[in-house]
Structure 1
Amino acid sequence: MTSAHYPLHPASVSKARAFVAHALDPVPEELRDCAVLVTSELATNAITHAHSAFTVSVTLTAEHVHLAVTDEGGGMPRLRHTGPTQAHGRGLLIVSSLADRWGVDAQNATTSVWCTFAVRPRATFDASGSQGVPVPDSDERS
C-alpha cells in the first residue's frame, strides 16, 4: 500500500490525481483513468463536504486495485440521485458506476470511502473492433 496526505486546499485534488496516476502506472490505461476520476470525485467530496484534509491510499495486487480516500470530517457520505439541472451531487454515483465495489467505513470522526477495481488482462482487438484474446503480460509469444 502506498498513501499520501493532502491539506484542505483545492489544489490538493489535482495532486491526488497525479499521485494515483503514478501509483497505477503499471495497470492498463482505462483502469488507471477510472481510478484517477474516482480519486478526483472523492478528494473533491472531502474538501467540499467534509471540509477536511484527506489521505489517499492505493493498494495494487495482480487481481485488484484498492483505492481509499479518508478524511476527518465525520459524517456518512450517501449516494444521491440528482436531476439533470443540478450542478452537484454526482460524485458517489460516478464512483458506483466505475468501481467494481465501493463502500464507506466511518469510525469516530474519520470517514473512508473506498473502492476496488478488478485488474483485467489487456486484450487485443481485431479490425472490426470486437474483443479478441487476452495478451500475455510477458514478451514471450507463441
Structure 2
Amino acid sequence: MNQNSAELTTSVRNFSVQLSPTPRGARLARLLATEQLRSWGLPQDPARHLVAELANNAADHGRVPGRDFQLTLYVVGETLRIEVTDTRGQELPRPRTPAPDAESGRGLLLIEALADRWGVVEGRFPRKTVWAELSFAPPQPTF
C-alpha cells in the first residue's frame, strides 16, 4: 500500500448506533458520541453539544412509538459529520425565534450557532436525517 492509500484509510472513520427515542436514548447518544470522539482523538466540544441537541430533538419531535432513531458520526479528512435519523419525516425542522419567556424552542438556533454547516435530508419515507458538520484541524504529531 502506498502512502496516499494509507492516509485515505486513516482519514475516514464512522460510528453508528440505533437508540430508543426517549430521554435516556438521547443521553446515551451523547455519552457514546463523546467516548467515540475521545477514542478518535478529536475535540469533544462543540460536537457533544450538537449530538445532544440533535438526539433530544429526535426523542422529542421525531418520536414514533416502537421506532428507534439512529446516530451516525463520520470523519472524512478534517470534517466531522453528525447525523441523526428518525422516522418522523413529515415533520421537518425549521429554526424559529421562540418567545423570550419560552422554556424550549432554541435547539436549532444552538445548532446553527455551533455547527459550521447543518441541514435536513428527506430519506425514504418516513425517515429524515438532520445533520451538522464541524471542521477541525487534524491532530499534530508529537515528537
Into which bin does the TM-score normalised by the smaller protein fall?
Answer: 0.7 to 0.9
Please, which runs of 5 or more residues in structure 2 have no aligned partner?
1-13
Cα deviation per residue 1:11-67 (whole Å; 9 max; x = unaligned)? 111110011111211113xxx221111111111111111214210000123311010
Structure 1 moving runs of 4+ over 2 Å = none
2:93 corresponds to 1:93: no
Higher Rg: 1
The residue aligned with 2:82 is 67
The residue aligned with 1:58 is 73
2:40 corresponds to 1:40: no
2:51 corresponds to 1:16: no
Structure 2 letter corresponding to 1:50: G
CA distance in 1, matches of 2:104, 2:130: 18
Q: Higher RCO, 1 or 2 (CA under 8 Å, sep at least 6)?
A: 2
Aligned length, in residue pairs: 123
Q: 2:141 aligns with which of 115, 119, 138?
A: 138
Q: Percent identity?
A: 32
Higher helix share: 2
What's the TM-score once normalised by structure 1's chain length? Answer: 0.80
Report if the CA contact (8 A) 2:73-2:80 is conserved: yes
Question: RMSD across aligned C-alpha pairs, in angstroms?
Answer: 1.4
CA distance in 1, matches of 2:15, 2:31: 13
Structure 1 letter corresponding to 2:74: T
